Amino acid sequence: MRGPHNIWRLIRTGATLERAGAMNVVLDAFEATPTLRFVARALGLPFKYLGYRGDPTMPPATRALTALGPAYIKFGQVLSTRPDVVGDELAVQLRVLQDKLPPFSIEEAKAEVQRELGMPVDQIFSEFSEPVAAASIAQVHKAKLVEGGDYVAVKVLRPGIEKAFRKDVDAFYLAARMVEIFSPGSRRLRPMDVIEHFDGVVRGELDLRLESSAASEFAANTKNDEGFQLPAIKWNHSSRRVMTLEWADGVSMGDNDAIDAAGHDRVELSNRVLQLFLNHALRDGYFHADMHQGNLKVAPNGDIIAYDFGIMGYIDEYTRRVYAEILYGFIRKDYKRVAKVHFEAGYVPADKDVDEFARALRAVGEPIFGMDATRISMARLLAYLFEVTERFGMETRTELILLQRTMVVVEGVARSLNPHMNIWEVASPIVTNYITKSIGPRAVISDLTSTAMVLARFGPRLPGLVEDALMRQTNPPHVDRRPRKRWFVLTAIAGAVGGAGIIALIDAIF
């Protein structure tokens, strides 16, 4: 339940960071200003011993986030892929959040499996191991099927996870509302919309039937992708809180030493993981939206294995074309074209100056090209990009949040494998190929064909539709205009973009 009582949750957040010794770690990682440091310590320090104690054997940041709950853990998972933003020390601490959280007991897991599948565990599995991975929402057990003898991974939701996550997200709603009230300049970032989007995504992650369906669709789209594989879903042994899929052997994408020992080429892997994501996003419009190291393995034959399909992203064809043109413009250093695309798509208010926006984009892009990735300060780049988006009145577009967030995560994974990778060179062939197929003459023919098919399908009804429209125009009925006004507001919101979203998008590309 949302309301002022969630202020207590926010106070305990600051108190927990203080008690775990994580407040200074976090502030140092983000190069916080003296003012921000003062406010953070003033809110957290007096309530220090009201914070959650957490597991004292864990590093400070990991200890605090795990004590606070699943929503905080999700946030930490994203940061764990960005050592260039939070520093190497904090990134290593947070990587534990990906798949090494404290598990719940095997007895609880077996009881959950029996309740969900309607049969005793030993009638389904001849072997059922202790947890092999534990994340924020579920944990995984290795098992062997009685029928067929295949080894499988059994994913089981944490007991009570729905209630725990609801408590976290309710506090986030209050925080977003407070930001909107006390910081009017942040309203363009639409913090409430962002939290609502995040809430919806995770609600879907809490139903493993939806995850199984997503995995099946993703497998169909990517079956011909070279060097990429997905474990198959065992539908007969899956339900809302339990999912069973093929066991995938391989080394973790986050273990560089193991990757090297297995003889894999980390430079090639870093290029492939980024190009695979771009292919899935641009070619299919359907992509794995949680591609951190904890959800990726490298198979003995060198293939990249992806799993955990609780968060998948979708973008329509028009948005894909806009996204590709922006990337393509940056790759070609055509900042004027990038600026025009933003204006044409409605991402920047029409009353702003396109040439001035192009110059601002050039100031962001030019220092980056050709620079070794290890020399780029993402913290400083993010600060400058925030100034740019604020100056041009760009707002957050919630339907792009997953795409932008995933681009940040995937780039972090790629750079953890090869810190010297050139993002532009790796992205160029994928984006160029998509541009050629989707924006050139071939795309025009395809669009005309699709339009003709729609007209053919509705052809017999077109005369009547036109006649009805003309009649309404000449004899408009009396209607309540308030719903139309609300629809106009919603449409305007959907057409806006920017703020933190664009920051994440361009940061990920760089």
pLDDT tens digit string along 392-424? 777 656 556 677 778 878 888 898 899 888 777
Q: What is the pLDDT of residue 468?
A: 77
> E-strand spans in 247-389?
251-252, 286-288, 296-298, 304-306, 312-314
CA dihedral 426, 427, 429, 435 (to 10 degrees): -170
316 carries an active-site annotation? no
pLDDT at 227: 96
CA-wise closest residue to 326 among 212, 404, 224, 252: 404
**Residue of 168, 225, 290, 308 marked catalytic:** 290
Q: What is the C-alpha separation between 154 and 247, in angstroms, rounded?
A: 9
Q: Which pair of tokens denotes residue 403?
A: 């795409």
Q: Are 82 and 408 in contact (CB under 8 A)?
A: yes
Going from N- to C-terminal start, the domains of the chain cover: 4-95, 262-439+479-510, 441-478
> Residue 339 in contact with residue 357, Cβ under 8 Å?
yes
Q: pTM surpassing 0.85?
A: no
- Tell me the three state secondary structure of residue 100: strand
- 346 touches 395 (CB < 8 A): no
Residue 496's pLDDT is 30
Is 299:268 a contact under the CB 8 Å cutoff?
Answer: no
The amino acid present at 353, given as its one-letter code, is D
Return the pLDDT at 349. 85
Mean pLDDT by 10 residues, the chain (510 residues): 69 87 78 70 78 86 86 75 65 72 91 95 96 88 95 94 83 77 64 76 85 94 95 95 95 94 96 94 90 91 93 86 80 86 83 90 74 55 58 66 76 87 82 76 66 68 73 60 36 30 32
CA end-to-end distance (rounded Å), the chain:
40
DSSP structural state of residue 233: B
- State the Cα–Cα distance between residues 96 and 58, nearest whole angstrom: 9
- The stretches of 366-481 forming alpha helices (DSSP H) are 378-391, 401-417, 423-438, 441-458, 462-474
Q: Give the residues across from 245 on adjacent strands.
A: 153, 233
**Whole-number pLDDT of residue 508:** 35
The H or E element containing residue 138 is: strand 138-145
Cα angle 227-233-236, degrees, rounded to a multiple of 5: 160
- Are 108 and 159 spatial neighbours (Cβ–Cβ below 8 Å)? yes
Name the β-bridge partners of 152.
143, 246
In whole angstroms, what is the distance from residue 417 CA to residue 258 CA? Answer: 12
Q: What is the rounded CA–CA span in Å between residue 387 and residue 389?
A: 6
- For residue 7, the model assigns a pLDDT of 77
Helices (H), 256-316: 256-261, 266-279
Q: What's the rounded Cα separation, in Å, for the pair 292 and 94?
A: 12
Q: How far apart are CA 497 and CA 289, in angstroms?
A: 19
Helices 191-205 and 161-182 cross at an angle (nearest 10°) of 170
